[in-house]
Structure 1
């Protein structure tokens, strides 16, 4: 049989059929019913009571059928107290064949009223036949075999009848529910929540059966004309159960988009991982976040944002590959579960297709909007072995995609600040900052006239057990953990203290400190920097803050206010890593900087790559036209020095001048160069090439993603 679903195609309670089992259930049920009918007729027994009792039962059955049709829901999934109570009552009175006829009447009539559900009706009828047959066998095992001619009348019941009624009810419920669950498959979205909710509902059904079924039996044998009145409590019971089901569905559904929610996703993922593990296959989770969606809410209002999310959800539904399932986790964050993934590459390909689909123009009240999306991919068992871990790691990859503006990223453990090893390193870094064990080294910037233009403060940490830790590694941990403001405060405090000491001895050289976008977005940052300068007695012009254009990608207004406050206090600003971001020319006009630093990725191949040389030339011309100084990073050889001088660059920084040095060595270097200036020939005679360990450090001084050094 084909997969069967609940009436609502978007329902998170959707199920997928297990091949073969539904057909087997139907075949066994038909065989059992045929054998039972032949035996009853062969023994000369009637199939159903006649006269008043039979017609009263027929009327009550018709009312129940009308109620089920009006509900418009699948009669059996989740249980229906009305049908079950009536069926069990007929079973206790007249045996399993009359009870089956009542059940089949309900199933056939309801399926006829809703023709598109006839396959499900056949399955449910077969399941009910087997459930009623099992309950009949349970009664027979207790010595009770009622027939139409010899009913099991309530007047003959004694205390031994109570456990028999309970046994019949439990057998009927257990068999029918187990067959439904297994025949419709174990790949059920939200299976754990549904199972818990279903058990609670079945407990309620059981109580109703025990309470109403004996009363139906009593009325059927004493005053059968009153049987139709049982429609009132039976319909009320059904309504209660359907309300409980609706609430269970609401707990698994996002109220805005109708997509399943986070709880459903986690539980569905658990099921998918169990199946993948048994099959030796892979599963993947794709986490998708809309870029700059907040600006839509801020500009057009939350109602417009909600309408936009509805369009995104619908577009996501349509774009899903076969077998994939989507959920909304909250806000502008969505997830797609790929229960079966051929490989990490195929999962990444699906993620790129989804991101491309969401990036197509959207129409909102005549306004065309283009929303970009970022996606993170995590794969079982490569990246995690449980649902929560897979979701966390997809989240890490997604934020990496947002930071890198790459669209889609696959999880990489080395970029995850939440691994146990990196969490331990985070704790050690926090303690090192508190103990003052993190050091600052200083790398000079010099002009082509030999004048020392300034120093850049670069943070260094020697771990007591791991040895020297790369700045790229521990700065990324600080940035992702919330420790970044503490690290920035530490670097600023240490650098300004050193500047004050140098100035007290006559060495007046400005020092640059890198700050991250998070620092710039922190309220009161400009005032805190000004207060720190005043406390150390350092003039604002002696401090330079290096920023990247990424400070404007999130909350540009706050960033602009902070930068304006810093320059208002007299602090100089430098734009670091120029050329590696996005919309650089646009951002350059909005940033109050006095210096521009060309990223080392362009400088390194300046002498051998004509395109890089042209980029550097254009950058220098642009900066000078805006009244900015230009500093080239990563200068390592004489030829690059010569080319930069010819292009009109103002200053250079790199190994050719000096490696980053601790404070004492920096002091000695400044005193020597302060007396006679820095000269390239003299430097080549006096200064040897940096030690290998220094070279390893220098490579980490300016990684493109490094916000603070």
Structure 2
């Protein structure tokens, strides 16, 4: 049994002024509740002899009396009063409520009623709760904010898009537009100027977008020059500018009118970003690409809207057109194209992709070669246009596999023809991505070695786009192929942006004039001039000239007069399956025939 003196001693020691405030408060309350006699103080009780103490029963009765009548305050002449709790207690209780600590409220009320001295202790848990609430608030804000620009991030944009769609769900004529912007060649600037300067540049871009989209933009003075029209200026539906990461930004436009209007806005934003920026003494001019997508025209939910705007932006970057509106036909991830890609993979595995061969002949009727053209009959769907599945293969990463398949088939067919005495070269189209792929030349050489076909029997046709992508790397690969003995041809000449210096540096021996010029040269003098200039340029560089798309006798005669070396087209022959092409070649092997007798 602990004696009253021990309790008194512990209470007195706990009331030591050196202890923390909260512990002193507790000790004083316990001392008042259990230990105090009338007129006692914590310091006087320390010197009291144990035998002089008040019996426990008497102390308890005295405590109950105090609770009934109120504490006796010597400073008021013994008049019963409540402890000082009014404003402080109300503030603490209100703070507990605001902090969301509802479970503490009943306890606080009980303490307020029976032991008001303990009420200040609620300041400690209240402070902890307020601090925790602030941390949670800041953490939630950080999760939705880009730390560099202080703009909403991708997650915040997704939430804002979902809210905009949900607020007007089912409302006829309501649309939500999204513009994704990506800075062209920002990585080069970042590497040249340093990452710190690059970060400052991104902050500047964010501010420019805000200025262009803020509600005060003057539409009334100059409707044509304004970036945003009135429909998106309502207070509840202001544009949202977000940073998606890296050099990519997004603009959400609730209530936008039409895809065409959104496309005009995107062009206005690009023009705004193109204004010169002075950074570290340098005057920078930025270019950007934008993808445009509109709900409900292009997408029905927020995630699809973001993804399809990203698809459109990728097309804008690839084509360097500045702004591209989403086009489902060019989207790799539509259900149709996903199914088409799966069927194409299976067709390559099952050898269901075929090659047809279209002859190239000189004006004396000699067969100077054949071009291998890929064809695919999709089971249950019919023939798929080559442009459709070839572009799908390029965008999906399947192109190297398709190219290897075509090379293996073409080189194998060359070997079979050579065994039959048909010594005719075959041309195969290759993608710029194939040529830029490391090890491409070695793979071509491997196909030739496996079938024991001399390299000069194979010709690779490349396009002018290769000159723009990475001309130095392309030239190295083509030079390696040339060392193997493989011949080169520049296909679709006139449709790209060839540099004459780069054209002269490429190891090509043949130039093919695109069918778009050849087919109209009889009716259009401009196209005829393009063909004539192309022939003269090619011959000046020592190249052989082949004209594609020859379909009538008049075009044949005009090309002959211009000095074209060979022609290809329906006038000579359509593209033929391997067995029919074999029969065609065997007929031609007997000797040259006049053009009028060539199989059509």
Settle same-fold status: TM greater than 0.5: yes
CA separation of 1:536/1:363 partners in 2, compared to 1, >3 Å: closer, same or farther?
A: farther
Q: Is the contact between residue 108 and residue 119 of structure 2 (CA under 8 Å) also seen in structure 1?
A: no
The residue that corresponds to 1:346 in the other structure is 261
The residue that corresponds to 1:237 in the other structure is 129
Q: 2:406 aligned with 1:491, yes or no?
A: yes
> Which among 188, 208, 212 is matched to residue 315 of structure 1?
208
Q: Is the contact between residue 547 and residue 568 of structure 2 (CA under 8 Å) also seen in structure 1?
A: yes
> Which among 387, 393, 402 is matched to residue 478 of structure 1?
393
Q: 2:362 aligned with 1:447, yes or no?
A: yes
Q: Is the contact between residue 454 and residue 512 of structure 1 (CA under 8 Å) also seen in structure 2?
A: yes
The residue that corresponds to 2:103 in the other structure is 210
| Per-residue deviation, 1:52 | 3.7
The residue that corresponds to 1:265 in the other structure is 157
CA separation of 1:261/1:52 partners in 2, compared to 1, >3 Å: closer, same or farther?
A: same
CA deviation digits over 1:390-425, x for unaligned, max 9?
Answer: 222222222222333322222222222322122112
Distance 1:681 1:307 in 2: 70
Q: Is the contact between residue 446 and residue 651 of structure 1 (CA under 8 Å) also seen in structure 2?
A: yes
The residue that corresponds to 2:289 in the other structure is 374
CA deviation digits over 1:221-264, x for unaligned, max 9?
Answer: 7556984x765654443333222222212211223333222212
Secondary structure (helix, strand or coil) at the match of 1:497 reads: helix
CA separation of 1:441/1:386 partners in 2, compared to 1, >3 Å: closer, same or farther?
A: same
Q: 2:370 aligned with 1:458, yes or no?
A: no
Q: What is the 5 A alignment of 1:236-255?
A: 236-255=128-147
The residue that corresponds to 1:400 in the other structure is 315
Distance 1:638 1:306 in 2: 63
CA deviation digits over 1:17-76, x for unaligned, max 9?
Answer: xxxxxxxxxxxxxxxxxxxxxxxxxxxxxxxx9994345469xx6xxxxxxxxxxxxxxx
Q: Is the contact between residue 440 and residue 457 of structure 1 (CA under 8 Å) also seen in structure 2?
A: yes
CA deviation digits over 1:322-346, x for unaligned, max 9?
Answer: 4222222223332221211211111
CA separation of 1:434/1:50 partners in 2, compared to 1, >3 Å: closer, same or farther?
A: same
CA deviation digits over 1:609-660, x for unaligned, max 9?
Answer: 2222222222222223333222222121222222223333332221122111
Greater relative contact order (Cα 8 A, min sep 6): structure 1 or 2?
Answer: 1
Deviates most, 673-682 or 536-545: 673-682
Distance 2:550 2:412 in 1: 29
CA separation of 1:473/1:408 partners in 2, compared to 1, >3 Å: closer, same or farther?
A: same
Unmatched runs of 5 consecutive residues or more in structure 2: 1-80, 214-227
Q: 2:365 aligned with 1:333, yes or no?
A: no
Q: 2:535 aligned with 1:620, yes or no?
A: yes
Distance 2:561 2:212 in 1: 54
The residue that corresponds to 1:53 in the other structure is 85
Distance 1:273 1:87 in 2: 38
Please, what is the CA RMSD of the aligned residues? 2.9
Structure of higher CA gyration radius: 2
CA separation of 1:590/1:395 partners in 2, compared to 1, >3 Å: closer, same or farther?
A: farther
Q: What is the 5 A alignment of 1:52-91?
A: 52-54=84-86, 56=88, 86-87=93-94
| Per-residue deviation, 1:297 | 4.2
Q: Is the contact between residue 216 and residue 230 of structure 1 (CA under 8 Å) also seen in structure 2?
A: no
Q: 2:314 aligned with 1:282, yes or no?
A: no
Distance 1:241 1:592 in 2: 70
Q: Is the contact between residue 276 and residue 283 of structure 1 (CA under 8 Å) also seen in structure 2?
A: no
Distance 2:343 2:545 in 1: 38
Q: Is the contact between residue 178 and residue 305 of structure 2 (CA under 8 Å) also seen in structure 1?
A: yes
Q: Is the contact between residue 549 and residue 575 of structure 1 (CA under 8 Å) also seen in structure 2?
A: yes
CA separation of 1:86/1:644 partners in 2, compared to 1, >3 Å: closer, same or farther?
A: farther
Secondary structure (helix, strand or coil) at the match of 2:156 reads: helix
Secondary structure (helix, strand or coil) at the match of 2:424 reads: coil
Q: What is the 5 A alignment of 1:69-218?
A: 86-87=93-94, 205-206=99-100, 208-211=101-104, 214-215=107-108, 218=111
CA deviation digits over 1:339-386, x for unaligned, max 9?
Answer: 112111111111222233334444443444444322222221122211
Secondary structure (helix, strand or coil) at the match of 2:479 reads: helix
Distance 1:564 1:319 in 2: 50
> Which among 427, 439, 443 is matched to residue 512 of structure 1?
427
| Per-residue deviation, 1:514 | 1.2
Distance 1:259 1:306 in 2: 14
| Per-residue deviation, 1:558 | 4.1
Q: 2:574 aligned with 1:542, yes or no?
A: no
Secondary structure (helix, strand or coil) at the match of 1:676 reads: coil
> Which among 557, 560, 571 is matched to residue 642 of structure 1?
557
Distance 1:590 1:359 in 2: 34
| Per-residue deviation, 1:219 | 5.9
The residue that corresponds to 2:581 in the other structure is 666
Q: 2:595 aligned with 1:680, yes or no?
A: yes
| Per-residue deviation, 1:310 | 3.1
CA separation of 1:56/1:262 partners in 2, compared to 1, >3 Å: closer, same or farther?
A: closer
Give the TM-score of the pair, scaled to structure 2: 0.76
Q: What is the 5 A alignment of 1:381-392?
A: 381-392=296-307
The residue that corresponds to 1:41 in the other structure is none
| Per-residue deviation, 1:436 | 0.8
Q: Is the contact between residue 439 and residue 461 of structure 1 (CA under 8 Å) also seen in structure 2?
A: yes
Distance 2:470 2:210 in 1: 31
CA separation of 1:240/1:561 partners in 2, compared to 1, >3 Å: closer, same or farther?
A: farther
Q: What is the 5 A alignment of 1:545-624?
A: 545-554=460-469, 557-582=472-497, 584-585=499-500, 587-624=502-539
CA separation of 1:285/1:587 partners in 2, compared to 1, >3 Å: closer, same or farther?
A: farther
The residue that corresponds to 1:296 in the other structure is 189
Give the TM-score of the pair, scaled to structure 1: 0.65
Distance 2:596 2:376 in 1: 33
| Per-residue deviation, 1:587 | 4.5
| Per-residue deviation, 1:528 | 1.1
The residue that corresponds to 2:21 in the other structure is none
| Per-residue deviation, 1:209 | 4.2
Deviates most, 531-540 or 413-422: 413-422
Distance 2:357 2:254 in 1: 52
Distance 1:354 1:678 in 2: 62
Distance 1:221 1:561 in 2: 91
| Per-residue deviation, 1:453 | 2.4
CA deviation digits over 1:446-479, x for unaligned, max 9?
Answer: 2334332221110011122011111122222222
CA separation of 1:586/1:580 partners in 2, compared to 1, >3 Å: closer, same or farther?
A: farther
CA separation of 1:420/1:300 partners in 2, compared to 1, >3 Å: closer, same or farther?
A: same
Q: Is the contact between residue 53 and residue 220 of structure 1 (CA under 8 Å) also seen in structure 2?
A: no
User: How many matched pairs?
Assistant: 497
Q: Is the contact between residue 88 and residue 213 of structure 1 (CA under 8 Å) also seen in structure 2?
A: no
